[in-house]
Amino acid sequence: MSKVLYIDACGGLSGDMLAGALLDLGWPLEDLRGLVARLEIGPVRLDETRVEHQGLAARRLVVEEGHGHPHGQGHVHGHHHGHQPHRRLSDILGLLARLPEAVGAPAARVFTRLAEAEARVHGKSVEEVHFHEVGAVDAIVDVTAFCAGVAWLGVESLVCSALPLGRGFVQCAHGRLPLPAPAVLSLLAGAPVWEWPAAEETVTPTGAALVSTLAKFAPMPAMRLMATGLGGGSRVSAHAPNVVRLLLGEAAGGGALADEVSELTCHLDDMNPEDLPMVFERLMAAGALDVAAAPLIMKKGRPGLALTVLCPPALAEDMAALVLVQTTTLGLRLARLGRRILPREIFSLDSPWGPVRVKRARVGDGWRYHPEAEDVARICRETGLAPQEVRRELTRLAER
């Protein structure tokens, strides 16, 4: 059975809270100490501490540099870290390359997404972005810790709840910024959120980057609950416990995960079919999960098309507005549907023709592999090989 980890951000989300919850699930701190030693980021002391929030006991990861300055301050990410170098993305990716692939690869994706968010917020290119708070030692350790803990647990699917967003202001290297932090809003575009009633920071950029990169946002999936872990921050809130809960379980339904999507449908009888590919492209770029059109005969006997769009429920209204603008329909129908999906991931495979993206899905106790069509087409154009021959060889390499 495939393992599922559900992130219940009931009281907020930060890197040290997530790491603490993984430690609470039994992940050994020694594992993280060994990985941090490989990063060679200077003398760093790692420890776990017990915190209590409104009667709930939780764990939190504490990071101290050689000079004894503690990090991992829950949701307060506004330290200037003047003693630390302002790292660029390439600097951080170089550090993460020293880690095992199962840890370093997802961590690199998280920091790449962070760099893209910072670039959008500050109007710069990714190469120009200097990390301040999120490039500090504690953020590097927190991201490494989460990726390593998830790998140690053998988790195959990460699911995250809607996130609570508090208001107010926070002091950081760029000055006094409104909450939610601009980078957090950029990272969470399309994610389900709800308003936290207190004026305090509830989701940090590191926490937002981790879940928006590595998890999908959905209701709690059907699973057989195996264990729970509780992570806590240093912020004390009078409103609710400053904790995040991790629920580890085995997926129900033969390994399929429960999920919900919104389905948008409309009928088109007066649209030029040549325009459909452009409409499909714009819908997918806006966050659609799938777009399809099928022929049908309309009520007056005219041929037409049935357009179907699947998207996360949080994007349903925006997607409906886009369909109304980009097509000739005068109306459409919206429905919220349950679905079952196999745990899947996309990884990079080294092949004789260079790196190739391969999607793999968990089916029972085995895997189903599918090389990306664009990469197969590229190889066929470059070599003249038949598609089935390329696909067969890539699948064989992936299974190895």
207 and 310 share a domain?
A: no
288 and 358 share a domain?
A: no
What pLDDT shows up at residue 338?
85
Q: pTM for this one?
A: 0.67
pLDDT, tens only, 154-198: 998 899 999 999 988 877 766 788 999 899 999 998 899 999 988
| CA 35-41-43 angle, 5° bins | 90
Is residue 195 classed exposed, middle or buried when 0-12, 13-18 and 19+ CB atoms within 10 A define those classes? exposed
Q: Do residues 206 and 63 touch, judged by C-beta distance below 8 A?
A: no
Cα separation of 158 and 205, whole Å?
Answer: 18
Which residue range(s) make up the domain with 156? 3-255
Mean pLDDT of 298-303: 88
145 and 15 share a domain?
A: yes
132 and 202 share a domain?
A: yes
pLDDT, tens only, 19-64: 999 999 999 999 999 999 999 988 889 999 998 888 889 999 999 8
105 and 34 share a domain?
A: yes
271 and 315 share a domain?
A: yes
pLDDT, tens only, 209-221: 999 999 998 888 8
Q: Count of domains in the chain?
A: 3
Pick the last residue of a domain from 297, 325, 341.
Answer: 341
250 and 264 share a domain?
A: no
| CA 10-20-157 angle, 5° bins | 70
Pick the last residue of a domain from 214, 237, 255.
Answer: 255
Choose among 19, 5, 8, 79: nearest CA to 233: 19
322 and 348 share a domain?
A: no
* Strands across the sheet containing 44-53: 44-53, 56-65, 223-232, 243-251, 3-8, 157-160, 216-217
Q: Which of residues 130 and 33 earns the better pLDDT score? A: 33
17 and 156 share a domain?
A: yes
196 and 102 share a domain?
A: yes
166 and 225 share a domain?
A: yes
Cα separation of 258 and 400, whole Å?
Answer: 30
56 and 205 share a domain?
A: yes
Q: What is the CATH number of the domain that holds 319?
A: 3.30.70.1380
